[in-house]
């Protein structure tokens, strides 16, 4: 088990090696596996990248995030301009289905709603918005409702987990109810938990994934 100083150093190094980040932008403190991220960055995507890098560090149990996004006066945009940029960006992305996503912007915070047939379409929609200047946060309410009428096969999800090098599939239990998947059991990092959820979403016919995997060390 890492002590607080070792875990803090590992997280700082992980953020340092994130291409989009400047290590000096993010402050890191660690206490009993809980990482607090603080500081000021000039884009929402940087904030997300700091969180993603932290999740990959072994020993991290939870993340408390106090990062402030400040675009400065030069690059500040009002909500109307942000909303217009969102519409244009969604329309220009071939992975995002036309007229399926609605966006609402309030004080730089974006709420996305709609319904798509595939998880990758939902991910593409949020990624487009995450990278836009002026965005301070995103609430993702997009629903995935597969056009496939087939019931999800439990074995297909289990095989996908077994193929992944980072997950010990013996510790993960998969339950399927029609088009819903529930994951329970144990993993050894937040990254593994997210990865298991991603793999479950990739199974044909999945409408929702309930990820209840516990992280232990």
Tokens describing residue 155? 């074995």
pTM: 0.75
Q: Burial-class residue 164 by CB neighbours within 10 Å (0-12, 13-18, 19+).
A: middle
The string of pLDDT tens digits covering residues 30-72 is 999 999 999 999 899 999 999 999 998 989 989 999 999 988 7
The order of strands in the sheet holding 101-106 is 101-106, 109-116, 137-144
Tokens describing residue 15? 């953020």
Q: Give the pLDDT confidence score for residue 23 in this predicted structure.
A: 61
Q: Give the pLDDT confidence score for residue 148 in this predicted structure.
A: 65
Q: Give the pLDDT confidence score for residue 19 in this predicted structure.
A: 77
Per the document, the length of the chain is: 217
Q: What is the pLDDT along the chain (217 residues), one digit of tens a residue?
A: 789 999 999 999 999 888 777 667 899 999 999 999 999 998 999 999 999 999 989 899 899 999 999 887 767 789 999 999 999 999 999 999 988 999 999 999 999 999 998 888 999 999 999 999 999 999 999 998 876 666 678 898 999 899 988 898 889 999 999 888 999 999 988 999 999 999 998 887 888 899 999 988 7
Q: Which residue has the tokens 């193929």?
A: 163
CATH numbers and ranges of domains, the chain: 4-70 (3.30.1340.30), 74-144 (3.30.1340.30), 154-215 (3.30.300.130)
- State the DSSP H helix or E strand holding residue 115, giving kind and residue range, or none if neither: strand 109-116
How far apart CA 147 and CA 129 sit, in angstroms, is 25
The order of strands in the sheet holding 26-31 is 26-31, 34-41, 62-69
Q: Give the pLDDT confidence score for residue 176 in this predicted structure.
A: 92
For 23, other C-beta atoms within 10 Å of its C-beta total 16
Q: Give the pLDDT confidence score for residue 67 in this predicted structure.
A: 93
Residue 192 CA to chain centroid, in angstroms? Answer: 13
**Whether 206 contacts 144, CB under 8 Å:** yes
Beta bridge partners of 174: 183
**C-alpha distances in Å from residue 119, one per residue of 20, 48, 97, 115, 145:** 25, 19, 12, 10, 9
């Amino acid at each position: 088990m890492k002590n607080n100083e070792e875990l803090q150093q590992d997280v700082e190094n992980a953020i340092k090696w994130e291409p989009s980040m400047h290590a000096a932008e993010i402050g890191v403190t660690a206490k009993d596996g809980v990482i607090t991220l603080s500081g000021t960055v000039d884009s929402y995507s940087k904030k997300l990248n700091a969180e993603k890098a932290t999740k990959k560090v072994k020993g991290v149990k939870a993340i408390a995030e106090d990062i402030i996004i400040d675009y400065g006066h030069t690059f500040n945009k009002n909500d109307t301009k942000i909303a217009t940029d969102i519409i244009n960006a969604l329309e220009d992305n071939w992975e995002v289905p036309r007229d399926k996503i609605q966006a609402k912007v309030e004080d730089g915070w974006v709420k996305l709603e709609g319904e798509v047939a595939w998880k990758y379409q939902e991910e593409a929609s949020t990624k487009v918005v995450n990278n836009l200047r002026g965005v301070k946060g995103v609430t993702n309410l997009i629903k995935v409702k597969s056009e496939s009428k087939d019931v999800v096969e439990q074995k297909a999800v289990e095989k996908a987990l077994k193929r992944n090098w980072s997950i010990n599939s013996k510790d993960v239990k998969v339950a399927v109810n029609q088009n819903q998947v529930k994951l329970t059991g144990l993993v050894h990092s937040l990254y593994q938990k997210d990865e298991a959820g991603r793999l479950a979403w990739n199974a044909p016919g999945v409408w929702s994934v309930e990820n209840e995997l516990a992280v232990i060390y």
